Amino acid sequence: MENPTPLSEAKKVALDKLTASLGPEYVEFLVIQGPEVLNARVESFMQYEATLLGQVQDQIASAMPIRYVSVPDEEARPRPLRVEVKNYSGKEGENLILWIREIEMAMRSGLITLDHQQVSLAISKLDGRAREWALTCSTSVDIAFLTWESLKSQLLQVFSPPNPAYRVRSRFLSTRQGKNELSYYVQELRTLMAAMQSDTLPEAVHVTIFMEGLRTGIARTEVFRVHPPLLKRL
């Protein structure tokens, strides 16, 4: 429609939208009211439209997932994990092999790779007679144990019981579940098997000892029914 009142281009666009929304009769009525009324109504419509557009944009922005900027170097860098290890004192009945495995696991998890750090960690987890021995082997710990492998080797020589292979094998052959939970019994056998790596028994013997050591009950009946070929599968 022809508009006798001079308007800016933006207001003309707004007036066209107003005409489409409310009809030409309403716009003609505004024109009759005079340029001030027409301008005021068009400006009011433009403000309403801008407010509505802003609300829509805000809703779209809030619905979009937040994107985090990743830092590849930081993400890829491994982080040390602290693992608790019980102290070893060299008393009879303590499992030196198991303690050594726990220490080495703590070294790997803690990203401890330098020789002096590994030696320091191991000695910090010694107690009693074993700690006294380590600290008095030489004029200083640095001289006595240059590497963890050196400390481990000497610990095994000094604190391993006489004929350790026989002792571990004998204990493995005599192990029974008794009143213990099945999981505890299996873990005890696995620990002894790990200690026998240098003089291991056939897998069939492992399975036989495990089955014979089970106490009478549902677990024993089920194991004898399945008859696992490998103890590692339990």
Per-residue CA distances from 31 to 4, 5, 40 (Å): 8, 8, 11
Tokens coding 215: 């106490």
Q: What share of the chain is helix, strand, coil (3-state, %, to 5)?
A: 65, 0, 30
Residue 65: per-residue pLDDT: 57
Residue 87: per-residue pLDDT: 93
Tokens coding 129: 């007679």
Segment 158-170, tens digit of pLDDT: 887 766 677 778 8
Q: Is the overall model pTM greater than 0.85, yes or no?
A: no
88/2: higher pLDDT: 88
Residue 149: per-residue pLDDT: 93
Segment 97-128, tens digit of pLDDT: 889 988 998 999 888 889 989 999 999 999 99
**Dihedral angle computed from the Cα positions of residues 125, 131, 137 and 143, in that order, rounded to the nearest 10 degrees:** 30
CA end-to-end distance (rounded Å), the chain: 87
DSSP, collapsed to helix, strand or coil, labels residue 126 as: strand
Q: How far is the C-alpha of 18 from the C-alpha of 93, rounded, in Å?
A: 93
